[in-house]
Structure 1
């Protein structure tokens, strides 16, 4: 009888040991799974932070390009074109004193690959109207809406514009001139 109790106890101890081992294995597997999920979320968060940086840089780019001062935000072909235009234009700052306000209405930024991104914007620039001194009927301000499509590339540890297009969307003077 003693022997049966002992083997029954051994059996229960073995069963408990096997159950604990299975529990530990399951816990270890869940831990690996959680680590994978955590890593994915960290990568996603880092990408979201970069999109936020590109969004902010797009706002800066809009402001600086309205004053022809975007050179420090450019790289590659865009930088070459900017430098060539500045070398050709002896009156590079002409008209920038007329800019009263630059305001982004819509900005959208997205990562396209590891070190590249795109941003799109619709923004308005309000200019003082120099014609109002000559023509009393002309409006005091001129509001011009533009669109921006920019390709960003990571250079060292910051993003710079590799290619961009700025297009005229609407000009408040069109209505005035048509009257």
Structure 2
């Protein structure tokens, strides 16, 4: 009984399938880059708008006292201190809890609107960060697809002679 030497064969995947995988990989990379670019543009736009408002965090805030609101954390801190001031002005009551003829109601309403605007900025930053993260993942998946499509499949076969 003699054993034939092992041979290594390359099995080729049809070009049509590889072309589709490569196209998906390229689209993933392009889409990922686009997501990152859009996220950066959104981040810059929100920062520019917040900075243009010249909002300074008061001295009784929990952090960043005296600093200008220019990002998600400072916007959140400013929204928090606005709420603190509004509740102090209303005796601890929210807008909905105040009587309709209460003179403080307009102040609390304005504070609520300001807080909502600042929280919208915080959410916009979060969405931009999420988009950038998804862009990075899309690039990684696209790169992986391209690598897989260009890697040949190798199968090891053993040829054994019959007795």
Query: What TM-score bracket applies, with the shorter chain setting the length?
Result: 0.3 to 0.5
TM, length-normalised to structure 2: 0.35
Higher percent of residues as strand: 1
Which structure exhibits the higher relative contact order, with contacts defined as CA atoms closer than 8 Å and separated by 6 or more residues?
A: 2
Higher percent of residues as helix: 2
Q: Which has the larger radius of gyration?
A: 1
TM, length-normalised to structure 1: 0.32
